[in-house]
Amino acid sequence: MIIVVLKTTTGEAMTQSDILDALSKVGAARRGQITEQWYTVKAADGTERKQGPYYVWTRYDGGKKRTSRVRCAEVGRARCEIEKGREIDRLVGEFWRNAEAEAEVAPEKKTALPAVSRPERNCAKPSRWSGRGCPPEVRTPSGSRRR
């Protein structure tokens, strides 16, 4: 596992505010990747030709794979935007590492949970009759006990 620690220009680890400043300066970005596609086409005389390249931008959005074509003239810009997207991923990862490190160092705050009254043993619910235990047992005509 490789951990990348982002540093400021002075060589220090980035703080949360440094990361947020860097994120605000990224600008247009894309997630995913750009792939090059070629198609093989048969001509009328039976010869095969390659057509392309066609460029496809692929990414996952909400668990679904999304693809769209990118024009040849826009491929350079799109690849630059994908690099910016990777930079955003690195910055967000560093933001999470800082936040988790801060959470581990922070003193534990004990929050008092409300006291929960528990019914007596073998009782499905607290008594509405006595307020302290199970409801009184009721004998059936056959003599068996029923709750």
pLDDT tens-digit readout, 34-84: 999 999 999 999 999 999 999 999 999 999 999 999 999 999 999 999 999
pLDDT for position 141: 58
Q: What is the pLDDT of residues 91-116, one digit of tens each?
A: 999 999 999 998 888 666 656 666 66
Among candidate residues 93, 75, 81, the one with its CA nearest the CA of residue 32: 81
pLDDT band with cut points at 50, 70 and 90 for residue 30: very high
Q: Mean pLDDT throughout 23-36?
A: 94
pLDDT for position 14: 85
Does 135 sit behind a cis peptide bond, omega within 30 degrees of 0 on the bond before it? no
Task: State pTM to two decimals.
Answer: 0.59
Among candidate residues 56, 51, 78, 58, the one with its CA nearest the CA of residue 69: 56
- CB atoms near residue 59 (< 10 Å): 16
pLDDT band with cut points at 50, 70 and 90 for residue 12: low
